[in-house]
Structure 1
Amino acid sequence: MANPPPFSRYEFLIAWRYLRARRAEGGVSTMTWISLIGIALGVMALIATLAVRSGFRTEFVDTILGANAHTTVYMPPQQIVNDLTDEVYTVAGTIPDYAAAVERIRAIPGVTRADPVVKGQVMASVGDRSNVAEVHGLTLEDLKAIPRVADPATGAGDIAAFDRGIAIGSGIARDLGAGIGDRVQLISPQGAQTAFGTTPRIATYEVVYIFTAGRYDIDRTRIYMPLPEAQSYFNREGEVDEIQVYAADPEGVDALTQPLMQALPGSVVWTWRDASGSFLSALDIEDDVMFVILSVLVLIAAMNITSGLIMLVKNKGRDIGILRTMGLTEGAILRVFFLCGAFTGVLGTLAGVILGVLLALNIDSIMAAVNWFSGGGAWDPAVRGIYKLPAELRGIDIAKAVGLSLVLSFLVTIFPARRAARMNPVEALRHE
């Protein structure tokens, strides 16, 4: 008579019966529940953490690419001699023939947009309130093409009226107490050159549009001004400070560096990865560290399976001896007790996946509750850079958590299962 194949139905039935311990064996049942709950909580924490980390990185990158250029082309600083005082000082490089440069850059494969921009630092004030701001001078068409800025769902005012005023971030608008139609005074230290030095330039502009880009640092410091007005205000007549370039593939923007430098000889290229690469690298390192730490927690929870199985093997010594005398092989006994641990690992993992997905999907409500209990300090956008804690469930993250939990659960069952399989049936029955 042929031996039954491995993992036959009777092996599953025996393993399931052992897991449903009688009241006299309550210790085994208790350890099983502790193991199951521990694995479920570990998998839940792992899935929720990976989802939050993925969501944070996606939101952070999206706010970068949604309100900033993918790469910037500018000229290096230049030394200028003051004809009146013979003083030599360094100024930022400018692009005089920017129209032709923009056309050459737009012709590069992979480039979707190229916007000439004038930039400068100013002091913005309304009444007795003031704040430092960064002015970007660009055309109305280019402003409308910035997704996070021109979004009507988050903006206020009329962006079409940009040519007769300025657009400011919601953060700086709140700091200044400015609304649509209010006038903001801008003071720039880089004004007119006179025999007595440089005099500050002061001008007043009407606020026609207020945007929310989703990045705390942008909303709190950025002001957009029409390009001709910015050229006049910052003494950039007929020239711009830089050309902001947008690529069809932002992740592969580094491939455009050489073509951009060839399109504008002597220029310097600064990509969004150069600006935020260190932060993104830190996020990747944190992701790896968090995965290792939470993996240890899952391992600790899985080790409880070993304790439970050792107790089960000790309590079932007589049963093991009887099963061996009935013809069960060592392999069959090993598989029975392996299935006992595997059942716990699978059920705990399944429960952890369900709880982790529910936690990730409701992270906004949970953070709102935490903020309420903590008085609103649980999530500070000034530190985090974005306004909310997002979560992004990815199949690869769930698969990693499930795979880790199942592998650890299966591995820790091997030792007690082998111990049961190698038990001498004669010795097991003699002591009963």
Structure 2
Amino acid sequence: MISILEKEITFRFLKARKKDGFLNVISIFSFIGISLGVAVLIVVMSVMNGFRTELINKIVGFNAHITVKPYDKIIDQNKLNNNNLKLISNNIIYSNSGEAIIFKKDTSKGIVLRGYKSNEFSMLQIINNKEFKGNKSNLQKNSLSIGNELSFSLGLKIGDEISLMSPSGVETIIGSMPKQKTFIITSIFNSGLADFDNNIAFINLNTLEEFFGYETKDRNLEIYLKNPSSIELQKNLVQKIFDEEFVYSWADMNSSLFSALKVERNVMFIILSLIIIVAAFNIISGLTILVKNKTRDIAILKSIGVLNKSIVKIFFLIGVIIGTSATIFGIILGVTFSIYVENFRQFLSSAFNISLFPEEIYFLSKMPSEINPSSILLIAICSIFITIIVSIFPAFKAAKLDPIKSLKYE
């Protein structure tokens, strides 16, 4: 426990006097350094968490949460009536895909075609967002739905005709020739990810199978979950149901990307923690100078019977108070900045006419931010722990002062 006397002396020592000007400067720099370190760490963690969440939402919104791919025989439809499957899924639809070449005058481009039934096309999340243009239920034969990036790059609009070439060959008198069909653009979608919008298009499932020479048994099963975030447990459940098929999830398709994001976040946490550590070492300097300046006071306290452990508590408390108050101020500063980080980005972009966080690189139109209370708690604990560690040495040094020698040389 801390006595009233120890509290009084602690707060008295915290009040800087005129002759302690240099000590006051060190304390201020310690406070500012720890506060900025904590604030920067919170902002960086919030932006990286927000970026990861936004990326997951866009990927999950465009791709099937779980895909079941048959090996050599058609998927058993009776398995679709499994109660566990119905419990976790919102929609279950059939699909297939293939690669083709799209032609527009003198321009050609390779794209991935995804095929869906006309009545199931409107179930896709990407079709139901406000950026979608065209008829949601119109994916009939020779209909084509393309991304807005592809429409910009090729100068296409709804109602235009476009030619597609399939690698599947047609036998003629002069040999095998690739299939070529003309499609009409009936809709344009926007996933928010330029890579998807520029390289993927949707067509009717029956048309796709005819175009690529696929059979009905080649169809995949796309499962859209009620809660796509807890993907591993649900994937294992689906794998048990479809034990003769290959099952993979959106997380498997993008595992390298999210592993890289996780490593980057951890490395940034370690690097930015060094700011707090460096700032905390100023507390050692400040407390050491304070002990030197308060030598006479410490000697008087000891001579009137104040115990060494009380001296340790006093100087230890001073360091902890500086570190804790700096951490709290840093948390307030960091959280505030995280909330308004997009406004700050827009201000800097307009003030200095520079492009911060360009959409074509990061796939996002604005800087995301997600404040995670557990991350803030971890940062606060680390900051206060570092402060406690660096406050121990000066506190014990103060307790070891000899009161007789200290008063003799005063």
TM-score w.r.t. the length of structure 1 is 0.85
Match of 1:61 in 2: 56
Q: Please, what is the CA RMSD of the aligned residues?
A: 2.4
Match of 1:232 in 2: 210
Equivalent-residue separation in structure 2 for 1:226 and 1:299 (angstroms): 60
Q: Quick check: 225-234 or 332-341, which moved more?
A: 225-234
Amino acid at match of 1:364: E
Equivalent-residue separation in structure 2 for 1:197 and 1:427 (angstroms): 107
Check whether the contact 1:19–1:29 (CA below 8 A) recurs between aligned residues. no
Check whether the contact 1:190–1:198 (CA below 8 A) recurs between aligned residues. no
Amino acid at match of 2:402: N
* Identical aligned residues as a percent: 30
Map 1:83-162; keep pairs closer than 5 Å: 97=74, 101-105=76-80, 107=82, 109-110=84-85, 112=89, 113-147=91-125, 149-162=126-139
The yes-or-no answer on 1:337 pairing with 2:315 is yes
Displacement of 1:216 in angstroms is 2.5
Check whether the contact 1:231–1:239 (CA below 8 A) recurs between aligned residues. no
Equivalent-residue separation in structure 2 for 1:283 and 1:387 (angstroms): 19
3-state SS of 1:328 partner: coil
Amino acid at match of 2:22: G
Q: 1:379 aligns with which of 347, 358, 365?
A: 358
| C-alpha distance 159-52 of structure 1, shift in aligned 2 (>3 A) | same
The yes-or-no answer on 1:29 pairing with 2:44 is no
Question: Structure 2, unaligned stretches of length 5 or more?
Answer: none
Q: Quick check: 329-338 or 120-129, which moved more?
A: 120-129
Amino acid at match of 1:210: I
Match of 2:387 in 1: 409
| C-alpha distance 193-370 of structure 1, shift in aligned 2 (>3 A) | farther
The yes-or-no answer on 1:174 pairing with 2:142 is no
Deviation per CA, 1:254-306: give whole Å up to 9, x if none. Answer: 313533543xx4x3223323222222222222222222222222111111111
Map 1:269-418; keep pairs closer than 5 Å: 269-369=247-347, 373=352, 375-376=354-355, 378-379=357-358, 381-382=360-361, 384-418=362-396
Amino acid at match of 1:18: F
Match of 2:4 in 1: 9
Q: Quick check: 400-409 or 370-379, which moved more?
A: 370-379
Check whether the contact 2:132–2:188 (CA below 8 A) recurs between aligned residues. yes
Displacement of 1:386 in angstroms is 4.6
Equivalent-residue separation in structure 2 for 1:160 and 1:254 (angstroms): 30
3-state SS of 1:160 partner: coil
Equivalent-residue separation in structure 2 for 1:209 and 1:10 (angstroms): 77
Match of 2:240 in 1: 259
Question: Structure 1, unaligned stretches of length 5 or more?
Answer: 1-5, 77-92
Displacement of 1:120 in angstroms is 1.3
Equivalent-residue separation in structure 2 for 1:152 and 1:53 (angstroms): 25
Deviation per CA, 1:81-137: give whole Å up to 9, x if none. Answer: xxxxxxxxxxxx7x6x45xx3442453623523321121112223344443211111
Equivalent-residue separation in structure 2 for 1:280 and 1:201 (angstroms): 38
Check whether the contact 2:101–2:164 (CA below 8 A) recurs between aligned residues. yes
Equivalent-residue separation in structure 1 for 2:354 and 2:179 (angstroms): 43
3-state SS of 2:102 partner: strand
3-state SS of 1:161 partner: coil
Displacement of 1:423 in angstroms is 1.2
Map 1:190-205; keep pairs closer than 5 Å: 190-194=168-172, 196-205=174-183
Equivalent-residue separation in structure 2 for 1:386 and 1:102 (angstroms): 39
Check whether the contact 1:73–1:260 (CA below 8 A) recurs between aligned residues. no
Equivalent-residue separation in structure 2 for 1:106 and 1:124 (angstroms): 39
Check whether the contact 1:115–1:243 (CA below 8 A) recurs between aligned residues. yes
What is the aligned length? 402
Check whether the contact 2:193–2:364 (CA below 8 A) recurs between aligned residues. yes
Match of 2:34 in 1: 39
3-state SS of 1:66 partner: helix
Amino acid at match of 1:40: S
Amino acid at match of 2:198: R
Deviation per CA, 1:26-75: give whole Å up to 9, x if none. Answer: 01100000000000011011111211222222222222221111222224
Equivalent-residue separation in structure 2 for 1:377 and 1:103 (angstroms): 53
Equivalent-residue separation in structure 1 for 2:166 and 2:212 (angstroms): 8
Check whether the contact 1:131–1:172 (CA below 8 A) recurs between aligned residues. no
Equivalent-residue separation in structure 2 for 1:187 and 1:43 (angstroms): 56
